[in-house]
Structure 1
Amino acid sequence: MVKNTGRPGYLQIADDLRDQIRRGSLAPGNPLPSTTQLAATYDASLSVVKLAVGVLRNEGLVIGQQGKGVFVRDDAAPAPPASNELTEIRATLRDLSERLARVESTLADRE
């Protein structure tokens, strides 16, 4: 499932698992599949899968229990509503476009 997009495989896996957690496919308290199962699912090495799980740990979405596995945290943050996220993205793009136009204008004035 890891694709040649230029984005590291471990981040692609972390993105997919994060999405599953936020959609509720991996519910709070539920275990993640084993590292071996995830490696088979994503056709990736064990080290790549471990890096992906590490990303989710750092984000506070999952927690490891020695000898038991990795579990979705009970207090894992739900996904923000898509419309709010899209509004934020549009505002950021607008801001970046305005900043780029100012930079280009400044550079054009120097020439």
Structure 2
Amino acid sequence: MVKHTGRPGYLQIADDLREQIRGGALALGAPLPSTAQLAERYGASLSVVKMAVGILRNEGLVVGQQGKGVFVREDAAPAPPPADEITEIRLTLRELSERLAKVEAELSERR
């Protein structure tokens, strides 16, 4: 479950999945649960889950296979340090842009 700590939910999810990979709960070559399953598990939106999985892709821990899912890489090297500040800022900006678009859409419907 994503906690309201001030830390973005996608980073919390990425941290948890990373720990599951490092700890062996998600074995090398194993599929990740679907985006919908992860969203339900963490109480987060699909877009937040997708951003979290994107971080793990950038770190080289998981790989997507079109039409099959996302899998823990067989040759997954230990994850590098958490995403650098610029990547984190970009992801946060994308999330804020999506939220702003929803708010603007709701406001325009009220007019």
Residue-by-residue CA offset, 1:15-42 (whole Å, 9 max, x unaligned): 0000000000000000000000000000
Gaps in structure 2 of 5+ consecutive residues: 80-111
Name 1:42's counterpart in structure 2.
42
- Counterpart AA for 2:29: G
Runs of 5+ consecutive residues of structure 1 not aligned to the other structure: 80-111
TM-score under structure 2 length normalisation: 0.69
Q: How many residue pairs end up in the alignment?
A: 79
Larger Rg: 1
Q: 1:82-101 residue pairs with structure 2 within 5 A?
A: none
Alpha-carbon displacement from aligned partner over 1:26-69 (angstroms, at most 9, x marks no partner): 00000000000000000000000000000000000000000000
* Runs of 4+ deviating beyond 2 Å: none
RMSD across aligned C-alpha pairs, in angstroms?
A: 1.0
TM score, norm. by length of structure 1: 0.69
1:54 and 2:54 aligned: yes
Partner of 2:70: 70
- The sequence identity of aligned pairs, in percent, is 82
> What corresponds to 1:20 in structure 2?
20
